[in-house]
Amino acid sequence: MGCRGSKTDCVHIDDSKIENGSVEVEHSFRHRRKVLDRETGKVFEEVIPGPVWSILKGLYATSACGVVAAHPFRCCLRRITQHAGRKMRSPSSKKDIQKFVDVYRIDLDEVLLPLEKFVSMNDFFTRELKPLARPIHSPQDAGVFVSCADCRVIIFQTLEEATRIWIKGLKFSLAELLGDAAAKPFLQKPGCCSVAVCRLAPQDYHRFHFPCGPGEVIDQNFLAGEYYSVNPLAVNNPNIDVLTENCRSVTRLQHPSFGQVAFVAVGATLVGSVELLKEVGSTFAKGDCYGYFQYGGSTCVIVTEPGAVGWDPDLLDASARGIESFVKMGEQIGLSCT
């Protein structure tokens, strides 16, 4: 889909303009994103392949040339996603696994099964890792909050801060994200809820886990929606409400140290479905696998009660500058404030 107006209406994209380390909507989208590797403390460039970048830039990068969330466009994304899901579940897609491994330099030593055991691309995409590949930080300490996935995380102590720096959709609110019923307990608490946005890139391990424990699954709701990209190019665009319009699974968890925690698994372009492995009423331990995304990159959003979590300072510092931090599942990202 091209520009809605003439070429002269398009805003020039200047790669050199980065505001506070973040991507600024309208004129500074890049085909390389800067991400902080928490383990090494160094910033690396996450390269978006050329064809993917061209599509993302055309759809989301500017208001003049970008997408307006029109009905035909939404239908197109839905069809593309459904087609990709069928294709990646087909045995014929097995031939693409090795190329995927090579392109994204996936460490096969971490993978539970040998490559020849996977029957399709989607089977490999939802792969399990060896038990010791992702150790859980302080597994018996209920006051430690850990990353739910291998992801690029950005954390804000208030929703106002999140919308000022990162989430630019004009309709973003707790009620829009979770639904009125699930949001009500959080909105009734005095103070501001915090939010962690955990973005999974295509090369990441695509299972997600409980960030705290022990606990119980209070309720689960699936909210139907669209299939916009969850790439920051889309999330940072004020014309599209990605996190509140995309299809998503919303879960409320009950935890003795953190109170209620909302866990949102957000579907996206090329993500065929979100599969949950626990039901309402189930109990869980910190680090237990909760589910997985089918083919494609996606996002988990975690909402915590006001004052429940003291997030790790290094992650808050990077987030305040609009920089995502790469963390692995099971790493500590916060502590209980109680």
Q: Is 150 a catalytic residue?
A: yes
- State the pairing for strand pair 42-47/274-276: unpaired
Instruction: With CA atoms as reference, report the closest residue to 73 among 86, 60, 54, 87.
Output: 60
pLDDT at residue 74 tops 70: no
Q: Is 209 a catalytic residue?
A: yes
22, 120, 147, 209: which is the annotated catalytic residue? 209
Sheet holding 283-284, edge to edge: 42-47, 32-37, 324-327, 151-156, 194-200, 298-304, 259-266, 248-255, 215-223, 283-284
Residues 6+ apart with CB under 8 A from 150: 134, 200, 204, 205, 327, 328, 329
Per the prediction, the chain carries an average pLDDT of 83
DSSP result, 5-18: S-GGGSPP--TT--
**Cβ–Cβ under 8 Å, residues 303 and 186:** yes
- Greater confidence (203 vs 151) lies with 151
Amino acid 66: pLDDT:
43
Token pair in block for residue 312: 């790790």
pLDDT at residue 96 tops 80: yes
Helix-strand-coil percent breakdown of the chain, rounded to 5?
Answer: 30, 25, 45
Q: Is 298 a catalytic residue?
A: yes
93, 147, 249, 298: which is the annotated catalytic residue? 298
Across 2-16, 67-81, 105-119, 212-226, least confident range: 2-16
**Cβ–Cβ under 8 Å, residues 284 and 278:** yes
Amino acid 11: pLDDT:
26
**Cβ–Cβ under 8 Å, residues 306 and 115:** no
**Cβ–Cβ under 8 Å, residues 233 and 57:** yes
**Cβ–Cβ under 8 Å, residues 333 and 212:** no
pLDDT at residue 103 tops 60: yes
pLDDT at residue 71 tops 60: no
